[in-house]
A = this chain, B = another copy of it.
Amino acid sequence: MAEAEHTAGRALANGKTRIDFQTAPARYRHWQLKVDGDVATLTMDVDEKGALFEGYELKLNSYDLGVDIELADALERLRFEHPQVRAVVLRSGKPRVFSAGANIRMLAGASHAHKVNLCKFTNETRNGIEDFSENSGVATICAINGTAAGGGYELALAADYIMLVDDGAAAVALPELPLLAVLPGTGGLTRVSDKRKVRRDHADVFCTTEEGVKGKRAVEWRLVDEVVPGSKFDETIVLRAREFAAKSTREAAAQGITLAPLARNFTADAVEYDFLAVEFDRAGRLATVALRGPPSQPPVSADAMLALGSEFWPLKLARELDDAILHIRLNELDVAAIIFKSSGDPAQVLAYDRFLDTNKAHWLAREIRLLWKRALKRIDLTSRSLVTLIEPGSCFAGTLAELLFASDRSYMLAATLASPASGGGVGRGGDNKPPANIALSDANFGAYPMPNGLTRLACRFLADPSDVNAAKAERGKMLDAETAEKLGLVTFALDDIDWDDEVRVFLEERASFSPDSLTGMEANLRFAGPETMESKIFARLTAWQNWIFQRPNAIGEEGALKRYGTGQKPVFDTRRV
């Protein structure tokens, strides 16, 4: 990969060599975050010249990944820095336009992998808006002052309440199909059918009408909740925000913490964080994510946790893990498999789980759990083979044990007869690490549902729910490899003699397979059981969109994405598949 040309298929702007998911309000170029009492306003005012890549301008509040990274950051700030906020207003800073959606020239020039990963990230951000409402009690009101087209309307669809100005011009639209021959793939179709529950034939008309729907019909067809005359728009926004804030369950008096910038050190083949390190084996196409257990006991009280702020181990580790996964997803496309390892004291991890559980009514403990939930879901949805290696000295307990269950496979090193059974001398190479153990906590049985709504253990043991209960009975105990295997918690328990070969063969095999078929297989096998709106977005909708993103009718030289804006009509292969 040439330094100048990013994996996205074109050069990053301003000479950058990687996409950075870390930002802060003072550095935003596209959003303003204003907090006024218990109501926050997120204003989208995209800087045309602030594109992530070279070669296009972000006109009409259109967006690229860089714009959405700021939105995602702003939402994290609202969760952690402004816990007194009880309602969010989402609006545009530009006159007569809300948002034109994903930038078309950006899409037309982006690699397939970048398009897919951009959509995945924006989907996750929008799901996060809904999670903020459902689980933190902070509803979002979207105030549409003009055209909300494509991804612009899809952003609105993530809100709890959509207001549209009634000025004879403002409209909501999903023009992707008639205009670009692709789908409203950032949740649009699914939220129209499953969240807004728009009647299917109305949805058909809406999604094929380039100019969209406005005024009374937009309400009748359930596309928006309210149309408001322009003269009353601002005062109605305030009114609705107050109504939603009044209904919020969030504590009004909470004091926030500051999310300090993550300390990171990027080198050629590694990224070093405080509690986590990523190492790349370029030849083997592997990334090893090594997590470090707690450096000390949990704090003595919720106040002590607050005082630690973003230094608090579970919070910092979750932020680092999330950043590392996003970095691999968007900047390290050649990685075939992610290997999770850990080091530390499993008993300490369990102690932190107990601490969070004891303080679960506290807003900060709750937000930390929700952050872990979202970070783990992001791992579920990461299109790389996932494997956890459980070695001596590791600490896959409680919350960290979720990585085992999120993995496609896990390998656990068993203490062998040849190893001394007592003391700390068991393990590979005769070092002093304690033998490999895993442990479960209450957190494994409800705190972290997958996108399909099941806990990872319930999904794993779909065949026989009594296996979940058998695992539950062992909470808090240190489980050695034999026990873990018997309980079905690990894939393979191996002894010292087999370990190196088995793991090596597996990793080599994984790197030898077609990356696409692995993506498809993992997307199917990881999500047994029910589907939710969220999982439907990533399965049904995303899979179809990815298919269309490969089809010549969209991306070919005569396709709609390439021809858009050239004055030439696209030419389609008319055969239906």
- With known contacts A199-B463, A519-B576, A205–B409 Cβ distance under 8 A: yes
Task: Please tell me which one of the listed residues B520, B572, B577 contacts residue A544 in the complex, with CB atoms under 8 A apart.
Answer: B520
A459 contacts B200, C-beta separation under 8 Å: yes
Looking at A151-159, A175-183, A253-261, A429-437, the stretch in contact with chain B turns out to be A175-183
A181 contacts B384, C-beta separation under 8 Å: no
A547 contacts B199, C-beta separation under 8 Å: no
Query: How far apart sit A409 and B208, CA to CA, in the bound complex (Å)?
Result: 12
Does chain B have a CB within 8 A of A530? yes
Residues of B within 8 A of A65 (CB): none
Shortest CB distance A378–B (Å): 15
Looking at A24-32, A293-301, A521-529, the stretch in contact with chain B turns out to be A521-529
Residues of B within 8 A of A510 (CB): 208
Closest to A204 in B: B408
Query: How far apart sit A117 and B577, CA to CA, in the bound complex (Å)?
Result: 7
A181 contacts B334, C-beta separation under 8 Å: no
Residues of B within 8 A of A543 (CB): 539-540, 543-544, 546-547
Does chain B have a CB within 8 A of A61? no
- Write the A183-224 contact mask toward B (1 if CB under 8 angstroms, else 0): 100000110111011111111110110000000000000100
Task: Please tell me which one of the listed residues B190, B201, B205, B575 contacts residue A7 in the complex, with CB atoms under 8 A apart.
Answer: B575
Shortest CB distance A38–B (Å): 31
Does chain B have a CB within 8 A of A67? no
Query: How far apart sit A208 and B560, CA to CA, in the bound complex (Å)?
Result: 37
B513 contacts A181, C-beta separation under 8 Å: yes
Query: How far apart sit A530 and B531, CA to CA, in the bound complex (Å)?
Result: 7
B531 contacts A182, C-beta separation under 8 Å: no
Shortest CB distance A2–B (Å): 14
Does chain B have a CB within 8 A of A18? no
Query: How far apart sit A459 and B576, CA to CA, in the bound complex (Å)?
Result: 25
How many positions in chain A have a CB within 8 Å of any CB in the partner chain?
A: 91
Looking at A272-280, A318-326, A342-350, A548-556, the stretch in contact with chain B turns out to be A548-556
Query: How far apart sit A572 and B285, CA to CA, in the bound complex (Å)?
Result: 13
Task: Please tell me which one of the listed residues B200, B407, B509, B576 contacts residue A383 in the complex, with CB atoms under 8 A apart.
Answer: B576
B526 contacts A544, C-beta separation under 8 Å: no
Shortest CB distance A14–B (Å): 24
Does chain B have a CB within 8 A of A112? yes
Shortest CB distance A212–B (Å): 15
- With known contacts A459-B200, A525-B203, A573–B515 Cβ distance under 8 A: yes
* 8 pairs of A and B residues whose beta carbons are closest in the complex: A543-B543, A181-B514, A197-B463, A520-B544, A193-B528, A531-B531, A539-B540, A189-B524
26 contacts between A and B (CB under 8 A): A113-B576, A183-B520, A189-B524, A192-B525, A193-B524, A193-B528, A199-B460, A199-B463, A200-B408, A200-B528, A201-B408, A204-B491, A205-B409, A205-B491, A208-B521, A333-B576, A514-B570, A516-B548, A516-B551, A517-B548, A520-B545, A523-B540, A524-B540, A524-B541, A540-B540, A544-B546
> Which of A's residues lie within 8 Å of B, judged by CB?
7, 112-113, 116-117, 176-178, 181-183, 189-190, 192-194, 196-205, 207-208, 222, 285, 333-336, 383-384, 407-410, 459-463, 488, 491, 509-511, 513-531, 536, 539-541, 543-548, 550-551, 553-554, 560, 570, 572-577
17 extra interchain contacts, Cβ-Cβ under 8 A, other than A177-B521, A190-B524, A333-B576?
A: A113-B577, A177-B513, A177-B518, A182-B517, A197-B463, A199-B463, A200-B526, A202-B491, A205-B409, A383-B576, A383-B577, A514-B554, A515-B575, A519-B576, A530-B530, A540-B543, A543-B544
